[in-house]
Structure 1
Amino acid sequence: MVTELSFGPHYPTLLNPLDKTIATTESHYYKYQYFLSVVPTIYSKGNQAALDSIIYSSSRPAHSKNVIFTNQYAATSQSATLPESPYYTPGIFFKYNIEPILLLISEERNSFLSLLIRLVNTVSGVMVTGGWVYQLAGWVGELVRKKRRARSEGVLDGKLSKE
């Protein structure tokens, strides 16, 4: 049973994949292996200036209540029954790699005015696109009508000239 496994402090939306994991077996010689990929993470809540100063600073600044230095991980597992022998060790094993990337998570809340501007931009974009589609459909329809007229006139002219 893994109650909690983390590589640093928690931030509000962090979900670790092995927390509250339970595995059982009837065998006395059993091996559980977990392969973890650990990713360094910087979490910032609502303070983009603090996050920018961390990103562009050459030294690591002290923790603040709005910026958390932590790690996340992904896990894969493998398990197998072992032969009863002194050469094999049953147990739970964690093998981890620290990935050479940095994940930045920033939670921000925009103003109501920003929401209204985004909504107006979205509605305007839909209306402009709809206008273009309507106009293009009109041009295509007009072109098709001209071709039909030209064919029907050509057929009539051909019939009249043969008679």
Structure 2
Amino acid sequence: MAGILNKLRNLDAYPKINEDFYSRTLSGGVITLVSSVVMFLLFFSELRLYLHSVTETKLVVDTSRGETLRINFDMTFPALACSILSVDAMDISGELHLDVKHDVVKRRLDSHGNIIESRQDGIGAAKIEKPLQKHGGRLEHNETYCGSCYGAEAEEHDCCNSCEDVREAYRKKGWGVTNPDLIDQCKREGFLQRVKDEEGEGCNIYGFLEVNKVAGNFHFAPGKSFHQGGVHVHDLLAFQKDSFNISHKINRLTFGDYFPGVVNPLDKVQWSQDTPNAMYQYFIKVVPTVYTDISGHTIQSNQFSVTEHVKSSEAGQLQSLPGVFFFYDLSPIKVTFTEEHISFLHFLTNVCAIVGGVFTVSGIIDAFIYHGQKAIKKKMEIGKFS
């Protein structure tokens, strides 16, 4: 009978706990309190992550085709007048946007950076009283004005009724205007006088360009641009100057719309020119980016990285065109940012891991301290510590 009882006792799947496991100590109370606080803090940290969205990042191949790229810019040139500053854009597909005026606003600045005048470029030209007609006489009351293009007419009946029209006709021919005072429209509008009046002024120019989504460049430079023999040229002779100060500040430059977390490395960048003429070059790698928020709203935009280079030349030696040039290329890889919530199952798993982990570590620490104290006490009792 005793043998049977011993065998049943050995089958007990619920062994009784040693008295050491339910002894209460001061160190155990401290460890319990600390572990409870740690567990509480980790739980609320995980709860905060669960209640808020997280952003998942992926890299995919950009397969989009036939799209356009919007370039938003805001530039300040403290020593370059608005009357001589122009904006051009071109790309490897051969498309040109010369002397862009649409969606571009210029603000004249005094030497202290205060705004003198703000207007959209190309609007507000001076009115000419009794201008010179194409046939040579002055405009009479009963006549329609048709000014001469001074040999740059594309067709016989073409008219150039303003200095800007003449300069545009010359640009299309690939010519430069060497002396604006010899052109009636420019003389009567006071083109050179306006340039002289704005001497010492600065210019804030802002707006946007809509270009093809291919590699290209856009630049800010003095003079009206034209193509001659396949070469991009700016007419600088009209301003009768041998040097241009291209010091500038990039207030804002973005490729596409803003999205949360975007960093534009050229915002607030400023360069001061030390030599009479300089070409500032920014080489930009544009990375297509798609941002999707927690509600499913998608923003198609871009990020970019940049490297910089400066070419300098002495006064009277224009080896390179003075101006600020932005050369951009597009990455074939697209970045996608997606906001999403952590699932409840993931949250529950993390909470269990926190509770189990804290409980296990605190148990190990408590056991180490308890048995250490017990061993020291036993040695003291047998007189090994006096």
TM range (shorter): 0.5 to 0.7
Residue in 2 that maps onto 1:21: 269
Q: Deviations over 1:91-145 (max 9, x none)?
A: 21111111111110112343677445324336757999x8xxxxxxxxxxxxxxx
Structure 1 spans left out of the alignment, 5+ residues: 51-65, 131-163
8 Å CA contact retained: 2:275, 2:314: no
Q: Which has the higher strand share?
A: 2
- Report what 2:301 is aligned to: 70
CA distance in 2, matches of 1:76, 1:102: 20
The match for 1:92 is 324
Higher relative helix content: 1
C-alpha contact 1:39 1:99 (8 A) present in aligned 2:
yes
Residue equivalent to 2:143: none
Identity of aligned residues (%): 34
SS in 2 for 1:15: coil
1: CA distance between counterparts of 2:334 and 2:288?
5
TM-score by length of 2: 0.26
Q: 1:123 to 1:78 in 2, by over 3 A?
A: farther
Number of equivalent positions? 112
Distance 1:127 1:29, change over 3 A: farther
**1:92 partner letter:** V
Matched to 1:100, the amino acid is P
Structure of larger gyration radius? 2
- SS class of match (2:276): coil
Q: Which one-letter code corresponds to 2:287 in the other structure?
A: V
CA gap of 1:24–1:67, structure 2 versus 1, over 3 A, is: same
- The TM-score, its normalising length taken from structure 1, stands at 0.58
Counterparts of 1:2-13 in structure 2, within 5 Å, are 2-13=250-261
Deviation at 1:78, TM superposition (A): 1.3
**Matched residues in 1 for 2:310 and 2:355: separation?**
54
CA RMSD across the alignment = 2.7
Which amino acid counterpart does residue 44 of structure 1 have in structure 2?
Answer: T
Alpha-carbon separation, structure 2, partners of 1:33 and 1:100: 23
Q: Which has the higher contact order (CA 8 A, sep 6+)?
A: 1
Query: Any conservation in 2 of the 1:41–1:103 contact (CA below 8 Å)?
Result: yes
The separation in 2 between residues aligned to 1:80 and 1:87, in whole angstroms, is 9
Task: Identify if the C-alpha distance between structure 1 residues 111 and 77 changes in structure 2 by more than 3 Å, giving closer, same or farther.
Answer: same
Instruction: Map residues 53-64 of structure 1 onto 2, 5 A cutoff.
Output: none
